[in-house]
Chains A and B, each alone.
Chain A
Amino acid sequence: MVLVINKIVFEIVIFVDFEEFDRFWRIFTSFKKYCKTVLNKQNMSNTYYEPSDLRKFGKITEWSEELGKKFFDYYGSVFEEGALSAREKSLIALAVSHVVKCPYCIDAYTQDGLKRGITKEEMMEAVHAGAAIESGATLVHSVQMMNKYEKISM
């Protein structure tokens, strides 16, 4: 497909003047964009994670008002400026978002970090801190393996 399109483009460049090519290119790009939107829509309905569901997070309160409210109050208080700065908490949240593999949280705290002027280097280091603890948590279990190995070996 790509090859065919490239060939068409190539031939048009050769045989048609620039203005016509420009017009073709505009139609072609808007068609490509349209296909992408259609594909996206189809994909969305077939996935467990729907990006726009993040906007609806607040709605969980509708099915359990008391608990929902308690949760959001708690959540709000946690991220306020305290002994840790709101900026530090945002980076912790970003790291944890990766560790618990929550795509909504990753979207939310990448955006939150950008808002606070946090650089991509800082964000990536935070994710590595999370990843190191996660892999460490796996590896430290190998002590148990070693213990068991020793215990049942002659």
Chain B
Amino acid sequence: MLLKSLKKRENELANAKRQLEILSNGIFQNGELPKFSTKLAAQNQFPLQPKTLEILQINVGYMCNQVCAHCHVDAGPDRKEIMTRETMQQCLDVIKQTGAHTLDLTGGAPEMNPNFRWFVEQATKVGVKEVIVRSNLTIITANKKYNDLPEFFKKHKVHVISSMPHWTEGKTDQQRGDGVFNASIKALKMLNAVGYGMPGSDLKLDLVYNPSGAFLPGDQTALEADFKKALLSNFEIQFHNLFSITNLPISRFLDYLIASENYEDYMYNLVEAFNPAAVDNVMCTNTLSVSWDGWLYDCDFNQMLELKVDSPVQHIRDFNKEVLNKRTICISQHCYGCTAGAGSSCQGTVV
């Protein structure tokens, strides 16, 4: 079990430039595998450009109560990067003028930001259709002050999306840490108790599945059926949809791939599973990612690789929809993760 982030351990992979180097060297440099740009060009899909902005995904900080082995954020209790209320206000001002219908809050554990509740309250007032919180579940049971989160979410009709790598304890704890499975089950029961995830309920509770290892996710519908059956019969837990998300080869997952000597095989798997149909709907075409300090990125993964949007406008305070829409999306070999098989996004498969 990891206890510290790569950053705290001063691991070379905490350095975004080093990660990008690794992703461009070796099998991609010697031509064994085509670079993502080459692959796109072969399908006449290069360069990637944004469509209408629908989702503003805001990373309110990298602090987290968990240290998951696959975390692309390298989040953990030792990460101190936290969005201020001032930056949150800038985000709110932008939401008012963009017409983006969804505000997607992520982290770290977004609930750990001291201004989290204020932000959610304000966001529901400015007229977004949907506020999503990506909750790791265990935060709800981690401390008394978070125990009322299900009630808070309900009051503001927040759409809760939670991670759950498997319906068995062993596989969940292996990825997310000891005790995470039982705490997650408890939190899911608390959410169910206030109406989240129940059939026909408009209190949306979706689960996210990430493979716990160096393999790609299987069929989302089949996995959803298995999850539903197991969680209902073993724990009487209900939820709406399961989103299967491919682990992208960056940060702690990249570290794991290299250390376990699975990196090359994994990249082969991703490239082999490249699906041009998935490229049409990759999330960077309808989403903008905002970091804790207000910088803009094509997606949360590019944020972690410090690849800011390729545009004259790079910060939320200078936001300009028209200028940003003319940009070209920044890509590297990690992007193969979003185009493999049925595709992968924060909303699950895209095909």
Contacts and interface: CB of A to CB of B under 8 A. Distances in A.
Interface of A: 52, 55, 85-87, 111-112, 114-117, 119
B324 to A, nearest CB: 37
Contacts of B215: 111, 114-115
Interface in B214-253: 215-219, 222-223, 226-227
Interface residues of B, number: 19
A116 B168 contact: no
Given A52-B264, A52-B265, A112-B218, 12 more contacts: A55-B265, A86-B219, A86-B222, A87-B222, A114-B211, A115-B215, A115-B217, A115-B218, A116-B223, A117-B166, A119-B168, A119-B171
A52 to B, nearest CB: 8
Interface string B264-294: 1100100010000000000000000000000
Contacts, number: 31
B31 to A, nearest CB: 15
Most buried by B among A86, A87, A115, A117: A117
A115 B268 contact: no
A79 to B, nearest CB: 12
A92 B115 CA distance: 53
B130 to A, nearest CB: 28
A95 B168 CA distance: 23
A4 to B, nearest CB: 26
Contacts of A87: 222
Nearest to B271: A55
B213 interface: yes
A39 B168 CA distance: 37
B229 to A, nearest CB: 11
Contacts of B268: 55
A92 to B, nearest CB: 16
Contact of A116 (B213, B218, B265): B218
Nearest to B341: A115
Given A55-B268, A86-B219, A117 B213 contact: no
16 contacts: A52-B264, A55-B268, A55-B272, A85-B222, A86-B219, A87-B222, A111-B215, A112-B218, A114-B215, A115-B211, A115-B215, A116-B222, A116-B223, A117-B218, A117-B223, A119-B171
Nearest to A58: B272
A138 B188 CA distance: 51
Contacts of B264: 52
A114 B219 contact: no
B80 to A, nearest CB: 23
A94 B211 CA distance: 19
